[in-house]
């Protein structure tokens, strides 16, 4: 199981931050995001029972994508002050589980996840735990995606077959879908005036961006004009949308064998002044 650490931490933080419940401990440190992260993390491991677990992280806001397009994610504000100290502390907690923290400056967590998922032994099945649908482009015969839903323990599990049933395109075509329609959350526009419905129809007919461009004479004049006017942004958006699966990260599969040391974890819980999480640890099946 590959865990999108940022997705879990942000989801957990904002779920309680909205009501001002930052869980500030006796040292004056807010821990609400970390507390919720642990609940998501252990609940998923109990349900899906992976043999190996690793957590991937973004390592700063500047990546190769911001070098290509300076407005990439420029619509996102700075993290709240209550969240800032939790970025390093949550990694400490992951270390207490003897689970690897993986990340590389210049790349996003998704790129690290994609690199590991696509390049590990072919006999291994990989599940990706996230709240971010961008990762669905990685789905294949042995990669599934577990999407967090509202609350704890609620998931939408996607395979390449279920994705095709939902969208009518294959997972790898999602890159071309985002190239056409853009992504407001990542702040790149795609082709102005082309939304998801039109983009899906074009991909179902012509397979990918190259196929569409080779058949511009067959599509409506309005769609042809929009694509021709935004051709440069179409190609750039496709590069921004594609998860890199050749990131130069170092990792050892054996280091990710999931076998926790209960005392070590509970000591870290006590250090963070967590209450009510011990029972989730006791539901785990493997102890070192």
Q: State the CATH number of the domain containing residue 77.
A: 3.40.50.1010
Q: Considering the domain boundaries, does residue 6 fall inside one?
A: yes
Q: State the Cα–Cα distance between residues 186 and 74, nearest whole angstrom.
A: 8
Do 155 and 174 lie in a common domain?
A: no
Output the pLDDT for position 287: 63
Do 75 and 115 lie in a common domain?
A: yes
3-class DSSP state of 68: helix
Do 135 and 186 lie in a common domain?
A: no
Do 93 and 127 lie in a common domain?
A: yes
Q: Does residue 288 have a pLDDT over 70?
A: no
- Reported as type and span, the H/E element at residue 225 is helix 221-229
Q: Considering the domain boundaries, does residue 122 fall inside one?
A: yes
Domain harbouring 190, CATH code: 1.10.150.20
Between the alpha carbon of residue 63 and those of residues 14, 38, 55, 77, 233, the distances in Å are: 24, 27, 19, 16, 19
3-class DSSP state of 2: strand
Considering the chain, what is the average pLDDT of its residues? Answer: 95
Do 161 and 146 lie in a common domain?
A: yes
Do 15 and 96 lie in a common domain?
A: yes
Q: State the Cα–Cα distance between residues 96 and 106, nearest whole angstrom.
A: 26
Chain segment 223-259, per-residue pLDDT in tens = 999 999 999 999 999 999 999 999 999 999 999 999 9
Q: Does residue 81 have a pLDDT over 90?
A: yes
In the chain, the number of structural domains is 2
Q: Considering the domain boundaries, does residue 108 fall inside one?
A: yes
Do 190 and 154 lie in a common domain?
A: no
Lowest mean pLDDT among 13-17, 175-179, 197-201, 282-286: 282-286
Q: Considering the domain boundaries, does residue 287 fall inside one?
A: no
Q: Does residue 284 have a pLDDT over 90?
A: no
Q: What is the mean pLDDT of residues 118-124?
A: 93
Do 190 and 133 lie in a common domain?
A: no
Q: What is the mean pLDDT of residues 56-68?
A: 95
Q: State the Cα–Cα distance between residues 40 and 43, nearest whole angstrom.
A: 5
Between the alpha carbon of residue 31 and those of residues 13, 88, 91, 276, the distances in Å are: 9, 11, 13, 14
Percent of the chain exceeding pLDDT 70 equals 99
Instruction: Give burial (CB, 10 Å; 0-12/13-18/19+) of 55.
Output: buried
Per the structure, the complete domain to which residue 231 belongs is given by: 170-241
Q: Does residue 216 have a pLDDT over 80?
A: yes
Chain segment 257-266, per-residue pLDDT in tens = 999 999 999 9
User: What is the DSSP code string of 102-157?
Assistant: E--TBS-HHHHHHHHHHHS-TT--EEEEES-GGGGGG-BTTEEEEEE-SSSS-EEE
Q: Write a three-state SS string for 81-98.
A: CCCCCHHHHHHHHHHHCC
Q: How far is CA 281 from the centre of its chain?
A: 24
């Amino acid at each position: 199981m590959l865990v999108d650490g940022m997705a879990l931490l942000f989801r957990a933080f904002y779920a309680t931050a909205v009501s001002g419940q930052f869980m500030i401990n006796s040292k004056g440190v807010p821990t609400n995001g970390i507390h919720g992260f642990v609940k998501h993390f252990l609940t998923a491991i109990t349900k899906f029972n992976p043999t190996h677990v690793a957590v991937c992280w973004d390592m700063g806001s500047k990546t190769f994508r911001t070098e290509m397009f300076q407005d990439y994610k420029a619509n996102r504000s700075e993290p709240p002050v209550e969240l800032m100290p939790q970025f390093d502390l949550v990694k400490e907690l992951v270390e207490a589980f003897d689970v690897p923290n993986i990340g590389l400056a210049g790349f996003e967590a998704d790129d690290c996840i994609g690199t590991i998922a696509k390049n590990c032994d072919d006999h291994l099945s990989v599940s990706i735990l996230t709240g971010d649908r961008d990762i669905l482009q990685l789905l294949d015969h042995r990669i599934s995606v577990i999407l967090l839903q509202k609350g704890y323990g609620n998931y939408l599990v996607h395979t390449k077959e279920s994705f095709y049933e939902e969208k009518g395109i294959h997972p790898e075509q999602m890159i071309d879908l985002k190239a056409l329609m853009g992504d407001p959350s990542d702040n790149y526009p795609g082709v102005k005036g082309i939304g998801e419905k039109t983009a899906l129809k074009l991909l179902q007919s012509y397979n990918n961006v190259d196929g569409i461009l080779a058949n511009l004479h067959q599509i409506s004049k309005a769609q042809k004009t929009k694509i021709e006017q935004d051709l440069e942004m179409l190609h750039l958006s496709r590069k921004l949308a594609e998860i890199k699966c050749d990131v130069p990260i170092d990792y050892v599969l054996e280091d990710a064998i999931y076998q926790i040391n209960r005392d070590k974890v509970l000591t870290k819980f006590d250090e963070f002044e967590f209450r009510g999480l011990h029972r989730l640890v006791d539901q785990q099946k493997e102890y070192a």
